[in-house]
Amino acid sequence: MASNGTAGSPFFEIRAHPAGFLGAFATRPIPAGTLVLDDSPLFTLDAPLQAYLFQRAQAGGSGGPTPVEGEDEEDDEPAKDLDEFLERNIKTMLSWKTEDQRREFWDLANTRPDLPPAYGIFATNAVQTHGEIGGMFLMLSRFNSSCRPTLTRPAWDPTSHSTKLYALRDIEPGEECTWTYLNVTFEFEGVEARKEEMRQVFHFECCCVACDEANVTPAERAASEKRLLRLRRYKERIAGFSSGGGTDDDEGQRKRLLGEMAQLSREEGLWETAQRLDQAAAA
């Protein structure tokens, strides 16, 4: 499949985001559950395998990157560190791609000036496929993060060898198509903790609809913080039930709390979490 399997039925367009970078925006109504993006990787990188190959190369064994004709002359020298080793391997994989694909790759965002350029683009945009394998997707790379996402997190489909994102709710034309880069551990953290996590892990200041001061009134922000706090408290109480065994009464209470958490999650715009909580409450 070519990169972006949805190219023939565009639910979205890539265009300028008010924050100055690019993003994906719905071009027509997208009903909840729609497959919005089905994207195949340009290439993948197995991080543990790369680290192992680098160590082997350092120890004098084979396994170093294959030199690419016409690329950096210093490639004859062993890579001085793992970053450089990865840089060379990414460039090697790029050399096997078409000119258009290479141009699209080099046009992608790079928030990692501390890394060599190709590896910086990979670190900014790559998404886990399965295990510890990072996939470089040209179309998915244009989708921004939101703490109130409209799409599911990317799910790797081993049969189609592609990653898929579905609409979490009905999306209006013009709305941004986003997914949440943060993993579930942080889903109930307050706004500042969440933003700090984004800085640490992803190296940017989150300006999504839920985080940017300009998007929310102080009253909305306070209501959101209150919901997140209640969600954290409920989660702790439920953890107490699970570890304590429990009577039928406890089980009833646990399900009631799960239902309340699902409702709060929906109000907070955490649709994927709400679905999981509803399922747990019904089980």
Ligand X SMILES: C[S@@+](CC[C@H](N)C(=O)[O-])C[C@H]1O[C@@H](n2cnc3c(N)ncnc32)[C@H](O)[C@@H]1O
Residues that bind ligand X (CB under 6 A): 21-23, 108-109, 111, 124-125, 141-142, 144-146, 202, 204, 206-208
Q: Closer CB to ligand X, residue 51 or residue 209? A: 209
Q: Closer CB to ligand X, residue 40 or residue 277? A: 40
Phi/psi of residue 45, nearest 5 degrees: -135, 125
Distance CA 225, CA 229 (A): 6
Contact criterion met (CB below 8 Å) for 133 and 120? no
Distance CA 155, CA 99 (A): 28
Q: Closer CB to ligand X, residue 30 or residue 177? A: 177
Nearest approach, Cβ of residue 114 and ligand X (Å): 13
Nearest approach, Cβ of residue 136 and ligand X (Å): 11
Looking only at the bridges linking them, the beta strands covering 35-39 and 162-166 are antiparallel
Contact criterion met (CB below 8 Å) for 47 and 63? no
Nearest approach, Cβ of residue 126 and ligand X (Å): 9
Nearest approach, Cβ of residue 150 and ligand X (Å): 12
Nearest approach, Cβ of residue 60 and ligand X (Å): 37
Q: Closer CB to ligand X, residue 201 or residue 239? A: 201
Q: Closer CB to ligand X, residue 109 or residue 281? A: 109
To which residue do tokens 């790369």 refer? 50
Looking only at the bridges linking them, the beta strands covering 127-128 and 43-46 are unpaired
Q: Which two tokens stand for residue 202?
A: 């992803």
Chain centroid offset of residue 120 CA? 16
Q: Closer CB to ligand X, residue 22 or residue 216? A: 22
To which residue do tokens 């706090």 refer? 229
The CA-based dihedral angle spanning residues 244, 226, 19, 26, taken in that order and rounded to the nearest 10 degrees: 70
Q: Closer CB to ligand X, residue 210 or residue 262? A: 210
Nearest approach, Cβ of residue 201 and ligand X (Å): 11
Nearest approach, Cβ of residue 154 and ligand X (Å): 11
Contact criterion met (CB below 8 Å) for 46 and 133? yes
Looking only at the bridges linking them, the beta strands covering 12-16 and 133-136 are unpaired
